[in-house]
Structure 1
Amino acid sequence: MLSLLHFFLLALSWQQISVVKAAPVDPRAPRSSYNFHLSGDPLSNGGLHMYASVGGGPVKSFRVDTGSEGILMASRFIGKDYQATGENFCLEYTSSKNYYCGQWVFTTVTLSSSRASGALKATTALMRVRMAEEFRPGGGAPITDPSKINVLMMGVGFDRDTSSGQTDPAGNLIPNDINPFLRLTEMASGTMTPGFILTPQSIILGITAANSAGFDFVDLQSSGTEWVAPYVTIAVPSAAITIYGAELLIDTGLDYSIVQAPQNVQPPCASNANGACRVANGQKFVLTIPGLPKPLYTFRTGGRDAPQSVSWRHNLHNGEPFINTGMYALREFDYLYDAQAGRLGFQFH
């Protein structure tokens, strides 16, 4: 038989276990971040994508593009829950010369990890979205038949010519609050730090002390209205080239790289057409930013983790050299943008 002491000890241990039992999580409690897992290998299959429903419309897969800002989508994919603003827009993607025009609409966006009913979802506050009603492929003849316009782009970049406060190609002022990754309801209410983290396998919205731990940071300068992209040094040691003070764009919308360099500065070319040199295979590139513990991105053209190609040109960006790394830089590091603190973070793989 058990002694009274045994009964006492058993009762005490059960009481201790019951005391430390976790309380249920309140689903109404504000979230500090959302972590959307991406299946497969997105960088080998067209880049990062995010599912979204706009204005109560169908759930569609959008390409996540850090090389532009704001959602651009065909009118036939937007639901009925939107308000016309009476404001027009035009937008050109400089890499493809594809040109779109239409109108800005006020609506909400529901982001999701998949089309499944139980998928993780996040909703934006009211924001402006570009509703495309005209498409000029490569800048050519206009297409206005809605059934032939299929664009679904989710621009989440900063300091771009498509960003708030800029003027679009038709002379229209680009409005504020157009970045869906920075317009979540929790961000608008102040309970979530606006920003995001992009990795080869996930998209994380909302910056916290926990998810930003382990990153090396670069502080951004302010133009007075927005954060300005940092500068990087481009070295091509195999061609004895070093270019200082190049504006940096880490672009998840392209699978190749673009360099805009001063005249008469050029590595060996595999081909040269229309003023663009396709850099020959075997050229080593090293990109560095002061303050980081190691080079930001090192690759050899034609090699592993390199862009599909490097297009070397001589059209300086606002009078300054420029490099668009393309999406494969994300195989070297995870990328963090903190819109509140004004900093970029890099967590090297």
Structure 2
Amino acid sequence: MRALRTLRRGGFSVVGLAALLVGGAAHAQAGPDLTAYAQTGLIPFLPSSQQPFEAPPKVALRLEGPLGAFQPHPVVMDTGSTGVVVSAADLPGYSAAKAAAYPAGWEFLSSSKRLWVGHWVPTTIVYADAAGGEAARAQVPVLIVETAMKCPGYDTKTSPGTCAAPTETVDLPRGIAYMGVGFGRERNGQTQGTPDKNPLLNLTALAGKPISAKGFRKGYVITPDGARVGLTAQAAAGFRFVKLDARPGGGPLDWGQAPMTVAAGDQPAQAGALLIDTGIATMYLGVADPAALKTHTETNQNAKTPSKVLDDGQTVTVTVPTAPATTFAFTVGQGDPIAPSQVLVNSPMTKAFVNTGRHALRRYDVLFDADGGWFGLRER
């Protein structure tokens, strides 16, 4: 067995380890060959007075569609959902009759239990660069929200897009502006969150130049500066990669979540799926025996309901079977910059699940290769 080579920085560690030593080792490979691709660009995040990823990253964009042009306030970029969502009432050309001509749609955010219902309207999205010019342009259906509900009992399988007992309902809400760019989210209440809705995978131009059919690799890199779209060898330098599984029944560009193992408290490591979510500051932790963890009850910062939360002093260790493997760990309550604001403990899960929240991005850049099905992490 090869020895571990560990560099510790407070509560954080990077472990160089042969991929065969961790769960999901069959996924780990060297990475994609990007030498044939040259077209790339940056969609910058708007400046913030807070430290990186303390708040959700935001971008400036303009919408141009059949219900009128609209430039919302800074729009949250969320890797935990898929699809652009805006309030129907904020569109200057909206009417119920016009909207009804387009496919009915919905999106559910499991962290906050929000269900948005409306119609998917074909729209051009124009992203602004740091100087106010055009960084990129995309063409995707946008969900215009006509009803917003809080739905704690949402059931994806039996009633997608409906809520039998909402605790809150708002017709024609205003102020919703959200850009979901995540992958593998269909099983988490987002049955319509398919790659054709992802604005970073459906670009038509970068800085005014049309996307090259041969020179553009669909995917992105998330850094503190913004989302780099169009993968190149230079953009991917320094990343460690793991191969993703194609999502069963999915089409092109449709990949499952990244594999990982997680050990919490004194419980053994369990294999499962990983999500690095810019939309929330908390972590969601799902393991087989959550009752064995040391927890207490406090208010969930997302859903505002009582939830089980991991006690201070408990350590969480997540290992991603990149080549070589990447491990990060923190101890709750010690103030590590990558530690989430809460570790919310889910109900028992036969396959583990970790939503890290956005704080992991304080030390890692994240890469998603949609054309080839690769996930990458790069320590900064």
Query: 2:121 matched to 1:105?
Result: yes
Shift of 1:235: 1.5
Which deviates more from structure 2 when the two are superposed, residues 151-160 or residues 179-188? 179-188
Distance in 2, Cα, partners of 1:336 & 1:81: 36
The equivalent residue for 1:329 is: 360
The equivalent residue for 1:52 is: 61
**Structure showing the higher helix proportion among its residues:** 1
8 A contact 1:259–1:323 mirrored in 2: yes
Distance in 2, Cα, partners of 1:304 & 1:176: 34
Query: 2:305 matched to 1:286?
Result: no
Counterpart of 1:246 (choices 265, 268, 272) is 272
Unaligned residue ranges in structure 1 (runs of 5+): 1-29
Shift of 1:46: 1.8
Counterpart of 1:203 (choices 224, 227, 246) is 227
The equivalent residue for 2:344 is: 311
Letter in 1 for 2:241: F
Query: 2:49 matched to 1:35?
Result: no
Distance in 1, Cα, partners of 2:93 & 2:39: 30
Q: Deviations over 1:8-67 (max 9, x none)?
A: xxxxxxxxxxxxxxxxxxxxxx97111234324464552111111112312531111111
Distance in 2, Cα, partners of 1:50 & 1:215: 24
8 A contact 2:322–2:376 mirrored in 1: no
Pair 1:109–1:277, CA change in 2 (3 A): same
Structure (1 or 2) with the larger CA radius of gyration: 1
Q: Deviations over 1:228-266 (max 9, x none)?
A: 112211123xx3112321211111111000011213553
8 A contact 2:38–2:232 mirrored in 1: no
Where 2:229 maps in the other structure, the secondary structure is: strand
Counterpart of 1:271 (choices 297, 302, 309) is 297
Shift of 1:135: 1.1
The within-5 A match list for 1:71-150 is 71-78=84-91, 80=93, 85-113=101-129, 118-124=132-138, 126-137=139-150, 139-144=166-171, 146=172, 148-150=173-175
Number of residue pairs the alignment of both structures matches = 305
8 A contact 1:233–1:242 mirrored in 2: no
Query: 2:172 matched to 1:156?
Result: no
Which deviates more from structure 2 when the two are superposed, residues 224-233 or residues 134-143? 134-143
Letter in 2 for 1:228: G
Distance in 1, Cα, partners of 2:194 & 2:328: 33
Distance in 1, Cα, partners of 2:362 & 2:86: 28
Distance in 2, Cα, partners of 1:81 & 1:112: 24
Query: 2:259 matched to 1:231?
Result: yes
Pair 1:220–1:241, CA change in 2 (3 A): same
Higher relative CO (Cα under 8 Å, sequence separation at least 6) belongs to 2
Where 1:96 maps in the other structure, the secondary structure is: coil
Distance in 1, Cα, partners of 2:290 & 2:276: 25
8 A contact 1:252–1:326 mirrored in 2: yes
Shift of 1:198: 0.6
Distance in 2, Cα, partners of 1:310 & 1:48: 21
8 A contact 2:80–2:182 mirrored in 1: yes
Q: Deviations over 1:136-192 (max 9, x none)?
A: 245423211x3x4221110001110279xx874xxxx66651100111114865242
Shift of 1:108: 0.6
The equivalent residue for 2:328 is: 297
Letter in 2 for 1:72: V
Query: 2:204 matched to 1:185?
Result: yes
Q: Deviations over 1:61-120 (max 9, x none)?
A: 111111110111111344659985521112221111112111110111011235x6x434
The equivalent residue for 2:82 is: 69
Which deviates more from structure 2 when the two are superposed, residues 295-304 or residues 195-204? 295-304
Shift of 1:134: 0.8
Unaligned residue ranges in structure 2 (runs of 5+): 1-36, 152-165, 300-304
Pair 1:308–1:53, CA change in 2 (3 A): same
8 A contact 2:263–2:317 mirrored in 1: yes
TM-score of the superposed pair, with normalisation by structure 1: 0.78
8 A contact 2:282–2:340 mirrored in 1: yes
8 A contact 1:91–1:162 mirrored in 2: no
Which deviates more from structure 2 when the two are superposed, residues 35-44 or residues 260-269? 35-44
Where 1:108 maps in the other structure, the secondary structure is: strand
Pair 1:135–1:162, CA change in 2 (3 A): farther
Q: Deviations over 1:185-208 (max 9, x none)?
A: 148652421111111232211111
Shift of 1:269: 1.5
